[in-house]
Structure 1
C-alpha cells in the first residue's frame, strides 16, 4: 500500500445519507451536484459557450450528470480517466393518468420500470418522489418521504398455494398501490396533492416523472454491524464512491482528466438523451477538448488514451443458492471490489483492462475479486459495453458485490463501499 486509505467506515456512513437523499435519479443528481459545488466545481450550461479554463466543472441533464476536473496547463490531447455509473434503479413509476381505484379504495396507477424484484415492493411503506414540470417550463423536485402508499399482498387464507407453489403476480392487476379510501375517484387528485405539498398553486403542474420508494432508512445490520441494508445501492453506491473519489483527487498535478459520468435509464437499455447510449458523454468530452483549443486530432489522441471504469453492483455468492453461481468464482461480501468478466461482451473487461484495474487496486492497497456468471445462466450487462462501442474507449467493468439486487432493499458489506472509493481514487490519479 503506497499511502494510507483516504476513506474508511465514515464513507459508508455518508453513503447512507446519500441513498436517502436520492429517491429518484433527479434527486441523486441534485445530491451529487451539491457535493461537487462544495468541492469547488461549477456548473456549466450546455447552451453556453465553454472556456478552456482549469478547474472542476459539471453538466446536468435531467437524471444524468457528467463532472470533470481540468488540471492547470492540461494539453488538449490529455486523456481522460472516467468512472461511469447510473442513477436509476428498478421501481414502480406513476402513469400519465395516475388516479385509480375500486371497491372503496383509492389507488395510484403505476408502471413497472426496469426489472424489479416485484415481491420486494409488497407490504412495504412507500413514499413518492421525482420531478414536476411547471406551466412555465421549469422543474421542481418533490419528495414525499413518509408512508403514503402500500401495495398490499393477498392474505394467505385467499391464496393457500402461495407457500408451496410460489407467489404469482400479475404486473397490471396486483401491483397498484393504495393511498386512501373513497368511492369518488377524481382525475387530478394525486397531482393536486403534490402541488399542495410542494407549495404550488392549483394547475401549475403540467408534467411529471414520479416513482415510489421505500421510506425505511438504510441501516447497519448483523452481529458486528458489518453489513449494510438499504435502497438503490444499484447503483447509487457507485455514484457516491465516484463523486467522493473525483473530489478527492481534483488537483493541479494529475496526468489525466478525471471524469464522473452518471447516466439515467441503464435499467431499461440506456437508449435516451441521458443514457449511456446517448450523446451526452461524448459531447462533453469533445467540447472539453475543443474548449482547450484542441482539434479533431487532439480529440482522437485523447480518446485513444482514455480508460473508463464502468462501476455497477454485481452478485455476491448467495449462501442459500450457491449453485446459481459459477463454482470457482464466489465473490464475497467485504472482500473488495469485483472485476466483472464475460467473454460474450456482456461486460467490457478484457485482459488489458484487468491490468489497469489490478494496478489501481494494488496502489490503493485494496483486494479485488473476479466475477463471471454460471455458464447455465444468462449474464446481465452494464453501461460498459455501450461506452466502449459508442466512444471507442477502453472500458473495464467493476463494482461491489451485493445480495438482493433489484430488490426495494438491497444488502452489501459495510466495508466494500469505501474499498471501492479508495480504488477509484487510485485509478483517477493514474
Structure 2
C-alpha cells in the first residue's frame, strides 16, 4: 500500500512475494513463506501514549540471528529451485503469511490480507467466467486488473498506462472496425470500477457523512464524490443499480464526510483516458489499508450476482 496502517504490520510473521527474473530472461513467481518479522518494542521501554512508527527507523524486519545464517539470495534460490547465481533481479514485497479466516456470529465475516482489492478481482473474475459460459450476445466482455493502484497507477502496466487502451484498440481492429467505429463502440460502452468501499466504523461513525451509512452485510456500495474522486455519475449509477435490482441484490451508497478527505480509484483514470461511462462500486470494508482487512461474506457473493447481471444487461 502507498498509505499503509504501519503498526498493523508489527508482530506478524511476514513472507516475501512477487517476481524474480533469471539470467536467461525467464520470469518466476515467488512466495517465500513465513520468513521475517517486525517486532514491537516492549511496552516497558516505550511508554509513549501513541506510537507513530518512523518508516525508515522502525519497520526494519529481522530475518536471522547472525551472518552465518543462510543468505536471502540462497533462500530465494531454494524457493525457485535454481542456483543463487542464476537470479538476475527481483521485485518482492512483504505480505502477511496468516491465512484468511471466516469468523464471527453466523460466520459472516471474512478477514484476510489485501482484500482491497482482491475482493473485487475475485468477484469480477467469478462473474466473468460464469457469464461467459452461456453468453450469446455480440458485445465483448472485458475484465482489466491493474497493478500499482495504491501507489498512483502511473506505471507501464498501471491504470494510467497504455495497456487497456491498446488492448481495446487492437481488439476493435481484429473485429474489422476502423477508428471512427471504435470510438462509437466506446460511446455505447460502460465500465464498472470495482474497488473496496468504506463501511461505517462502529467506533468512529463521526468520520462518515451523517446521512450515508453503508454497512458490512448490507450489500455492495455505489461510491459518489462531487470532486470526481470517483467516476460515478447519474447515467452510470442508473446502469449499475438497475443491474443490482435485476439480480435481487441490495445496494448502498457512500458519500464522504465533507470534512474528511476520501481516497480515489482507477475509475476516473480510465474514464478520462477512454471517455467511457464509468461507475465506482465496491464491497464495504473495515480496516482498509491494514495488513489484515475485513469484509462480509454475503457482500462478496452479492457482488458476483450484481456484476453478472450488469454483464448480461
Alignment TM-score, normalising by the size of structure 1: 0.71
Q: What corresponds to 2:89 in structure 1? A: 207
Distance between the aligned counterparts of 1:359 and 1:190, measured in 2?
53
User: What aligned pairs does 1:406-421 form with structure 2 within 5 A after superposition?
Assistant: 406-421=289-304
8 A Cα contact 1:256 1:429, kept in partner: no
Q: What corresponds to 1:302 in structure 2? A: 185
- Following TM superposition, by how much is the alpha carbon of 1:185 offset from its aligned partner in structure 2, in angstroms? 8.8
Q: Choose from 166, 169, 173 the match for 2:50.
A: 166
User: What aligned pairs does 1:9-408 form with structure 2 within 5 A after superposition?
Assistant: 90=1, 114-145=2-33, 147-161=34-48, 165-183=49-67, 189-250=71-132, 251-408=134-291
8 A Cα contact 1:234 1:406, kept in partner: yes
Q: Which has the higher strand share?
A: 1
Distance between the aligned counterparts of 2:58 and 2:121, measured in 1?
32
Distance between the aligned counterparts of 2:311 and 2:156, measured in 1?
26
Deviations 1:276-313 (A, max 9, x none): 10110000011111001111111011111111100000
Q: Which has the higher helix share?
A: 2
Higher relative contact order (CA 8 A, sep 6+): 1
- Following TM superposition, by how much is the alpha carbon of 1:379 offset from its aligned partner in structure 2, in angstroms? 1.6
Distance between the aligned counterparts of 1:199 and 1:181, measured in 2?
24
Q: Which runs of 4+ in 1 moved over 4 A?
A: 183-186
Deviations 1:232-263 (A, max 9, x none): 10001100111111111114522422110000
Query: Unaligned regions of 5+ residues in structure 2, if any?
Result: none
8 A Cα contact 1:256 1:428, kept in partner: no
Distance between the aligned counterparts of 1:316 and 1:238, measured in 2?
15
SS of corresponding position for 1:206 = strand
Change (3 A) 1:252 1:121: closer
Deviations 1:354-405 (A, max 9, x none): 1001111011110100001110011210001001101111110000101000
Distance between the aligned counterparts of 2:15 and 2:270, measured in 1?
33
SS of corresponding position for 1:381 = coil
Task: Name the Cα RMSD after superposition.
Answer: 1.3
Query: Unaligned regions of 5+ residues in structure 1, if any?
Result: 1-89, 91-113
Distance between the aligned counterparts of 1:334 and 1:408, measured in 2?
21
